[in-house]
């Protein structure tokens, strides 16, 4: 159904598209912002506190400021970086220079920091560049200076980010994951029978801070770019987390083959153990239109074929890379191409009973999801 036309939403701020100050105080709101290939997810608690999970790259700074102006977000209480890759942290420092950031949340120090060129060659293969070590060190130095100016929270699995009105549980961080099942979880996961073990990842993707955010019966999960073995340890052989309502597709649905060696094969995401274990009702994909140049559609197909999945919502329509041709319906995609003066996004508004709505800012298309029985 459509709640209102795009033009009316701009003029009047229709429900689901207006400022956070005008939203119903009883909802928790999650915004997947179109920043291209990177991740940027705003979480607004019913208390009014705001978390930004990742920022996209440096070029996303202006888009994030514009988005905040569009929806009426005045400050970021917790700027949480899942890990220290440019497409997740690049805009963190320049954004903090333009809007108030009350605290930085991360897994500690970057495992990239002060690595020599041989280490980089082994982990970047054909994508290796001789300036990688200095470039990443310089970026992290800038971030270190920024986080020293305000509150800094280092999290580990089992911690809570103290957002009022939400339970924001850290399920992974710094290469570690929860080892005990959450209440009601822990059953054997039959989907794990077909899940292999691959090469371990000791770079930043595998360090990702994963968050399970609950509002009453509603559950939302974002695992950053968590890679194959580390992610699967949450779901195989037993599912330690249980099911969720909304799932930010891990690692932008990156699926790699063994073409470039065992290490890259292990950087893939979204095994059937993970996706079938979570059994999301909606999947939320943040991926740029160009997709992954050396990617495959395997992860996309696993997500779309997940039991219980009702819809796949996307920030951008994928027209390139190995994932092209696996999009959901256009009504469920925030950016289908062309130019817009607005910053588009997908918004999830959750109720404590587990029901929720999802809205596409581009066209005002809204779908309601009743609470699970």
Which string of b and e fits 116-151 if b means at least 16 CB within 10 Å? Answer: eeebbeebeeeeeeeebbeebeebbeebeebbeeee
The pLDDT of residue 373 is: 82
Give the torsion through C-alpha atoms of 152, 19, 22, 331, to 10 deg. Answer: -110
Q: Is the pLDDT of residue 10 over 60?
A: no
Q: Is the pLDDT of residue 15 over 80?
A: no
The secondary element (H helix, E strand) that includes residue 289 is: none
CA angle 78-291-304, nearest 5°?
85
Average pLDDT taken over every residue of the chain: 91
Share of the chain above pLDDT 70, in %: 93
What's the pLDDT tens digit per position in 327-350? 999 999 999 997 678 999 999 999
pTM of the predicted protein model: 0.91
- Rounded-to-integer distance, Cα 316 and Cα 35, Å: 9
Confidence of residue 25 (pLDDT cuts 50, 70, 90): low
- Rounded-to-integer distance, Cα 221 and Cα 353, Å: 17
- Are the CB atoms for 65 and 95 separated by under 8 Å? yes
The pLDDT of residue 24 is: 43
The pLDDT of residue 129 is: 83
What's the pLDDT tens digit per position in 89-145? 999 999 999 999 999 999 999 999 989 888 888 887 777 788 887 888 999 999 999
What's the pLDDT tens digit per position in 89-102? 999 999 999 999 99
Q: Is the pLDDT of residue 290 over 70?
A: yes
What is the 8-class DSSP label of residue 97?
Answer: T
What is the 8-class DSSP label of residue 153?
Answer: E
Q: What value does the mean pLDDT take over residues 175-203?
A: 96
The pLDDT of residue 321 is: 86
Q: In 3-state terms, what secondary structure has residue 349?
A: strand
- Rounded-to-integer distance, Cα 265 and Cα 197, Å: 10
């Amino acid at each position: 159904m459509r709640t209102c036309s795009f033009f009316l939403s701009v003029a009047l701020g229709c429900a689901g598209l207006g400022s956070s100050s005008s939203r119903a105080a009883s909802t928790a709101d999650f915004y997947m912002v179109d920043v291209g290939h990177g991740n940027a997810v705003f979480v607004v608690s019913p208390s009014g506190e705001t978390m930004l999970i990742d920022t996209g790259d440096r070029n996303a700074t202006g888009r994030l400021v514009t988005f905040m102006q569009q929806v009426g977000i005045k400050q970021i209480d917790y700027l949480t970086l899942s890990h220290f890759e440019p497409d997740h942290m690049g805009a963190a420092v320049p954004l903090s220079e333009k809007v108030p950031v009350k605290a930085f949340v991360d897994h500690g120090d970057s495992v990239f920091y002060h690595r020599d060129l041989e280490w980089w060659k082994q982990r970047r293969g054909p994508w290796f560049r001789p300036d990688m070590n200095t470039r990443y060190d310089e970026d992290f130095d800038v971030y270190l200076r920024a986080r020293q100016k305000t509150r800094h929270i280092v999290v580990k699995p089992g911690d809570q980010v103290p957002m009022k009105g939400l339970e924001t549980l850290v399920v992974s961080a710094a290469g570690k994951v929860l080892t005990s099942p959450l209440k009601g979880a822990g059953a054997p996961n039959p989907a794990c029978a077909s899940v292999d073990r691959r090469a371990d990842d000791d770079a930043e993707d595998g360090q990702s801070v994963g968050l399970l955010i609950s509002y009453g019966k509603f559950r939302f999960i974002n695992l950053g770019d968590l890679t194959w073995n580390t992610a699967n340890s949450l779901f195989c052989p037993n599912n330690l987390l249980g099911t969720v309502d909304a799932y930010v597709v891990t690692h932008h649905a990156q699926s790699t083959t063994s073409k470039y060696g065992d290490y890259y094969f292990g950087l893939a995401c979204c095994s059937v153990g993970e996706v079938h274990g979570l059994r999301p009702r909606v999947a939320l994909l943040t991926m740029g239109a160009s997709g992954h140049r050396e990617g495959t559609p395997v992860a996309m197909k696993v997500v779309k074929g997940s039991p219980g999945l009702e819809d796949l919502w996307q920030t951008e329509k994928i027209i390139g890379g190995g994932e092209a041709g696996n999009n959901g319906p256009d009504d469920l995609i925030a950016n289908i191409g062309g130019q817009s003066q607005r910053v588009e996004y997908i918004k999830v508004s959750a109720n404590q009973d587990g029901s929720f709505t999802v809205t596409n800012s581009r066209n005002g298309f809204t779908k309601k999801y009743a609470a699970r029985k």
